[in-house]
Chains A and B, each alone.
Chain A
Amino acid sequence: MAETRDAVVIGSGFGGSIAALRLAESGRDVLVLEWGGRNTAKDFRQSWDPRYLQTLYTAVPSSDYEALFRYARTLGGGSVLFSGMMLRSPSEVFEWVDETGYKPWPDGITRSLMSPYYEKVEKMMSVSQARWDEVPAGGTFFAALIQAAGKKADRGRFPYVGCVQCGFCEAACIYDAKKSLILNYIPAAEGLGAEFRTSCKAMTIKTEGAGYRVTYRDPFGTTKEVDAPLVCIACNAVEDAALLLRSAPYLDKLSDQVGRNFTNSGDLAWLWLLKKPFYENMAIWRGRTNAVMQTYGWWRSHLIHMHTGSTPPGIFGGLDVRRRGGGSPDLSWGLDHKHFAFEVYRNRLVPCQLSGMVKGEGTVRIDGTGRAIIDLPVTPVFQAYMDKVRRVAEEIAAASDAEVLDVAPRGFERGGAHLQGTCRIGASPDAAVCDPYGEVFNYKGLFVTDGGSVPSGTGVNPSLTISANAERIAEYIVGNVKS
């Protein structure tokens, strides 16, 4: 017989843990099903060994094999593995109208409406602006490039307290200096009786009585069921869509938008090659994974935001670095490539990671076994966006006599980890999967509370907006949905 709960939350990342805490606070008996394991600081390692990383990550290539998407599979979701930049989306994001004239954020959801929710999350997760003495060398180089191009850079914001700059943020923090959800929302929810059941993968959702039946696989591979009048889906944008598509035979009034409008938040990444290092005896690749400095210098004009990262050798090895338009190395491997890497890696490569506003034209589908397949084609709209970004990247390079290097077959790396839009909120089921409060159209009590329901790119790194949106939806559920 199926177990019964007041609420089931699927996924324990930002969207799931926040919903779980708020529902537990409202006195509900909450069960969280989490695909990944219960990993904490004692389990983390300072290692880029793929055999270790595969215990925490899922990676899926796009259907054309041009881009690689990665996301968390561990208790606490992306908060455990992310590089910590937590920024509020600028006002323009909420007012943005896409290239076809559609406004993804429903009317009334504005930056000022979101501000209290942002604040709530920042307090819970101890988010603050990095201090100047926390800026790693990569940030220094980035700021110098931006300054040479006539703009300014500033320090980003992180949930880091007592960071020792070890540089393993994306392999998870062994010092608990990164204040992931496993250190705040999750223990708080557990303290109120919420149960986080790990190594359990939700397979389908069906209607059952006045609510829903969630079928999941437990750690031993046994199929189990749990019934609840309220279900929050929070598996990340890709897996949300896969779960709903696996459930489509039982939920026949779902919007046909499920899995569509997928966006990688306009993420593009590349490297600048300096002719001469700005600071001779300073190695760039040191310190935390996100090297702190960011710029809004091209935000108002281009709706793009850039920040610098650190590219430790393992990540560098994953890039197809080669010269654009000839010049050595023209292959991303071989003797020339190796000599080039040894000459320039230490202090002549400056990485850039960019987010920006561009229509989500990707799709998440499932294969015959129910696994997610991701399409992110380079459409004319996306190509125009990449061209616009390239002009800015070249402009910055030119001001410092630097060069933009190709790092992937189409120049920019365009996969990433910022995934949104597949179950987006909106005014009508013709264009969206959920109503503005995250409730799936035609399914009372079924909500999407994570990146899947965020209707567009977030302009900046998305975790804080995903979280604030989860707080907003959870507040609505607590105030309006009867237990």
Chain B
Amino acid sequence: MSRAPHGRPAAWHRRDFLAVVGQASLLPLVTWACGNESSIQPNVAFGSCRTPTQHEEEKLLMLADTIVPGGKADPRGLAGAVEACPLEPLYDPMLPLALAAPLVVSFLDDQAKQKYGAEYVKLGLPERTEVTRAVEATSPLFGYLLKFIRGIYYTSAVAYEAIGFPGNNLGYINHPDFSLRRPLGEGMTEDGNMP
């Protein structure tokens, strides 16, 4: 594999990711609802990882702004992940995914420097999109972080409103348009069960 001048592999394949993080620590890193080892059992594998620094947090915000862009980048003026501000879980040391964050930041910077000769945060949205896409293509693991960012965005109050989510509450028991009645019922079943 070719090596970038700063000493990291130029293309991050999953195998490289595994080598860097170490197989043992991978599971907790990517299991966002983790608990595979609960709090009753300290996980030694975490020893090799750390939570993001403030500088890295800023880069993570840029990643979030790439995954769900907002502000001036959105001609429709719809709030993005950064405005919706639900991003604390990205840094929360209680959530193992936060421990993967510094590594992800370094992947993004590596790609950005290689492609555009600048740090990820210095790039515009189209360039960041391209860099992020390239990093995503090299590691399915990266996809977990993307899912996580999308997940926290879509559960924010801002997104609920914009997306038209009515909130989890009463169904359509009294809805005037509610028209589902017997005719759609399945003749094959007996009270919902097959024989």
Contacts and interface: CB of A to CB of B under 8 A. Distances in A.
Nearest to B191: A129
Interface string B129-161: 100110000001101101111111111000110
Contact of B166 (A283, A338, A342): A283
B150 A286 contact: no
B154 A313 contact: yes
Contacts of B14: 65
A313 B160 contact: yes
Contact of B194 (A90, A167, A168, A314): A90
Contact of A65 (B38, B144, B155): B144
B53 interface: no
B159 A313 contact: yes
Contacts of A409: 140, 143
B169 A137 contact: no
Interface stretch (A47-55, A229-237, A244-252, A471-479): A47-55
Interface string A55-88: 1011111001110001001000000000000011
A371 B29 CA distance: 14
A282 interface: yes
A342 B147 contact: no
B194 A313 contact: no
A368 B24 contact: yes
B194 A369 contact: no
Interface string B155-195: 10001101111111111110101111110111111011111
B154 A317 contact: yes
A80 to B, nearest CB: 14
A302 B27 CA distance: 36
Contacts of A135: 171-172, 180
A480 interface: no
A57 B32 CA distance: 10
A341 B163 CA distance: 7
Interface in A76-122: 87-88, 90-91, 111
Contacts of B155: 48-49, 312-314, 317
A152 B168 contact: no
A413 to B, nearest CB: 11
A288 B171 CA distance: 8
Interface of A: 35-36, 46, 48-51, 53-55, 57-61, 64-66, 70, 73, 87-88, 90-91, 111, 129-130, 132-137, 139-140, 143-144, 146-147, 152-157, 164-168, 199, 201, 217, 219-221, 279, 281-283, 285-288, 293-297, 299, 312-314, 316-320, 331-335, 338-339, 341-342, 345-347, 367-369, 371-373, 409
Interface of B: 14, 23-24, 27, 30-38, 40-42, 45, 66-69, 73-74, 76, 78, 80, 89, 92, 94-95, 125, 129, 132-133, 140-141, 143-144, 146-155, 159-160, 162-173, 175, 177-182, 184-189, 191-195
